[in-house]
Structure 1
Amino acid sequence: MTEDKILCWYGSDPFEAGQKLMEASDVWKNWSKTESIGLKPNLVVSKKASSGATTHPEFCAGVIAFLQGQGFENLSILEGSWVGDRTERAFRICGYTELAQKYSLPLVDLQKDESVTLEATNGDYRVCQAVLNLDRLINIPVLKGHCQTAMTCALKNLKGCIPDSEKQRYHREGLFQPIADLNEILHADLILVDALEGDPDFEEGGNPQTLNLFMAALDPVLLDSYACSLLGLNIEDVPYITKAAELGAGTIHLKEDTLVPLNKGEGLSSLQRSSLSSTLAAHIHEKGACSACYASLVQALKILQEQGKALPETVMIGQGFKGLTVEGLGFGQCLSGCSSFVPGCPPELSEIVDFLSFTGNKSG
């Protein structure tokens, strides 16, 4: 496989997809059997893959089984869930603790790892040491929507390779440039995408839509550029893609022969991101909000909407409000200076719904 290709395998069997894509990629033929190989799935939150939020463990199992069958023994799975959840809990609930036991390989919790500073064009960034110790990195994201960046796939999945404090910094700085910068200094040796049933709107799932597609690529920018079209987005809707291309992380230019189908592809459909998340986002005044907080607030607004309740005109959220005294509704500990706010980092979803329901009834 070359940098200008995206391999596509269509179907509903994640294990078979993992094996077929690994075999077809050919990249492993140039790897030493003694090299350390790390698999980086998307386990951003402790929810099963059927929710549309996380990488199917069976997909990783197919990759692991193939590599072990070729004689590769130094394998591991690495992840750092988002701020607000614990990686070890995600490993267990998402099926990776059982997976690791079955294939006798370690799970590496990057939330507990040391980190080092690396230099990028636009500044210095911290990356977890365990990732840098690898000889080979396999990036295994889920193709899905995202409340703040419209989409998450190959480029953004590397954000799980940084410490929690750095994740908070990325949100303070607006996500787009830091994500691009991270991909300038950290490169995967292979990208395998789980696009079986991602949620087209929310990174924490809840509305999975079947696409029956798995992909392999070497260029994360090219892959994310194609992924945009599957979600009904333009590249301009996801600014970190172009920014990463400008930093030399890949190309945005798809050609007529970029896509290489490995089978017939029966049942392929487009996820087509709905307008729901953008409609709900209109009620949010956000300044540097972390993913866990932002997604929880969006989910709460969604629940209120489904219940037929009035949505608040504006809810403030994010680190940019920390230490400020402001009038109106606030969400999360950073908004403790707000005249009315929900405490927590992040608050429980039920607490948010109750709070917004009460304030809505009160204002009515």
Structure 2
Amino acid sequence: MERNQIFIKYGTDYKEMTKELLEESRLADLIGDKKLRIGIKPNMVSASDPSNGATTHREILAGIAEYLQEKDFHDLTMIEGSWVGERTMDVFYACGYDEICNTYKIKFHDTQKDKGYTEDCCGMELNICAGVKDIDFLINVPVLKGHCQTKITCALKNMKGLIPNSEKRRFHSLGLHKPIAHLNAGIHQDFIVVDNICGDLDFEDGGNPVEMNRVLVGRDPVLIDAYVCHMMHYETADVPYVEMAGKLGIGCSDITMADIRVCGSDMEKQLPRSRKVIEVADAVEEVESCSACYGYLIPALDMLKQEGLLDRLHEKIHIGQGFRGKTGELGIGSCTRNFCHHLEGCPPVEDQVYQFLKDYIENHQK
């Protein structure tokens, strides 16, 4: 498989689709040495079954494991850490990954338990989980989905699971896009298997899955993310970290350079255009908020909008680390504890946010 190629396959037998794509791409030849330590990095953002549109499907991970073991690669480790506010092992069991690890004798490495090391990532010093050093060949298995702060999340942003929680918080104070791009200079992903079975096109935490029954593979994370922008009806310029990563030499952000091959089908499905985040974001004043905190707020606002309550909210909702020590009227999360009306939690979850805001609207808004 050439670096500018992206192979796509449709179907519902996800494990076999994955194995066929890996065979088509000649992954075993790309890895080479049978003794290499191979890391498999899923998306384990939160304790949500993959059918909810947020986490990597078990069948894809099973397909990767079977293919590798059939090719005589046996030193396999699943490596990941969930987002801030969630325990990785809760996600591990909720997603059924314990079955995969037990069946295929795969080790699991929880990066939330790691110490970090400092790496110069193309001129930006970032803290990376120590477990990354124990991987020789990294297979990234992101979910193609929307994100309430960066619009899309796929290959490049999925590396954020390989940094400590403290660094995840700092990424938000740095503006997300620049550190995401530079992180990929410090962590090299060798192969990407994209889960586009039913990703949520708006929310990183899922809840509104859009069935596509599609798996993609490629070698260039920048090109894959540029293609995902295209599929989700964005320009690459709409997602700054994609072009930033391209300029850092991590990959190619020019979608015209991609060789897209649909294997076993001559009809490519189109993703619907979805912009739920934009429809409710005007109600929010956000400064350096963590993904989990903001990610729980936006679906709660969408629920209020569907009930006709959001139009009755006349106060801006403040959220993020930038409001620590400051005062105001209405805030979400522990960072806004000095506000007149605020919801504690780091982060407070979706149902808590929804009920808090509903009570505020009904009791404090005319």
* Paired AA for residue 91 in structure 1: F
Does the 8 Å contact 2:332/2:344 carry over to 1?
Answer: yes
Which stretches of structure 1, 4 residues or longer, exceed 4 Å deviation after superposition? none
* Paired AA for residue 156 in structure 1: K
Question: Which deviations, in whole Å up to 9, do the C-alpha atoms of 1:304-336 show, x marking residues without a partner?
Answer: 122222353410000111122x22210000011
Tell me the equivalent position of 1:320.
322
Does the 8 Å contact 1:11/1:265 carry over to 2?
Answer: no
Tell me the equivalent position of 1:106.
107
SS of 2:181's equivalent? helix
Does the 8 Å contact 2:192/2:217 carry over to 1?
Answer: yes
- Structure 2: how far apart are the matches of 1:143 and 1:218? 16
- Structure 1: how far apart are the matches of 2:238 and 2:257? 23
- Structure 2: how far apart are the matches of 1:102 and 1:280? 43
Tell me the equivalent position of 1:73.
74
Question: Which deviations, in whole Å up to 9, do the C-alpha atoms of 1:257-303 show, x marking residues without a partner?
Answer: 6102221155x422234121111111111111111100111111111
Q: 1:67 to 1:302 in 2, by over 3 A?
A: same
Work out the number of aligned pairs and report it.
362
Q: Structure 2 regions of 5+ residues with no counterpart?
A: none
* Paired AA for residue 272 in structure 2: Q
Does the 8 Å contact 1:233/1:273 carry over to 2?
Answer: no
Q: 1:230 to 1:24 in 2, by over 3 A?
A: same
Question: Which deviations, in whole Å up to 9, do the C-alpha atoms of 1:180-221 show, x marking residues without a partner?
Answer: 000112111101101111111100111111122211111111
Comparing 256-265 with 163-172, greater Cα deviation is found at 256-265
Tell me the equivalent position of 1:363.
365
Comparing 139-148 with 114-123, greater Cα deviation is found at 114-123
Identity fraction in percent: 40
Q: 1:273 to 1:80 in 2, by over 3 A?
A: farther
Q: 1:103 to 1:166 in 2, by over 3 A?
A: same
* Paired AA for residue 15 in structure 2: F
Tell me the equivalent position of 2:338.
337
- Counting only pairs closer than 5 Å after superposition, residues 40-119 of structure 1 correspond to structure 2 as 40-119=41-120
TM (norm. structure 1) is 0.96
Q: CA deviation at 1:42?
A: 0.5
Does the 8 Å contact 1:145/1:273 carry over to 2?
Answer: no
Q: 1:129 to 1:80 in 2, by over 3 A?
A: same
* Paired AA for residue 73 in structure 1: H
Question: Which deviations, in whole Å up to 9, do the C-alpha atoms of 1:49-99 show, x marking residues without a partner?
Answer: 110101101101001001001111100111110001111011100110111
Does the 8 Å contact 1:144/1:201 carry over to 2?
Answer: yes
Query: What is the aligned-residue RMSD (CA, Å)?
Result: 1.3
- Structure 2: how far apart are the matches of 1:338 and 1:110? 34
TM (norm. structure 2) is 0.96
- Structure 1: how far apart are the matches of 2:97 and 2:239? 30
SS of 1:243's equivalent? helix
- Counting only pairs closer than 5 Å after superposition, residues 138-157 of structure 1 correspond to structure 2 as 138-157=139-158
SS of 1:252's equivalent? coil
Q: CA deviation at 1:351?
A: 2.2
SS of 2:140's equivalent? strand
Tell me the equivalent position of 2:228.
227
- Structure 1: how far apart are the matches of 2:209 and 2:110? 26
Q: 1:163 to 1:141 in 2, by over 3 A?
A: same
Q: 1:257 to 1:78 in 2, by over 3 A?
A: closer
- Structure 2: how far apart are the matches of 1:242 and 1:278? 22
Tell me the equivalent position of 2:269.
269
* Paired AA for residue 320 in structure 2: G
Q: Structure 1 regions of 5+ residues with no counterpart?
A: none
- Structure 2: how far apart are the matches of 1:156 and 1:6? 18
- Structure 2: how far apart are the matches of 1:265 and 1:95? 33
- Structure 2: how far apart are the matches of 1:199 and 1:243? 25
Does the 8 Å contact 1:10/1:265 carry over to 2?
Answer: no
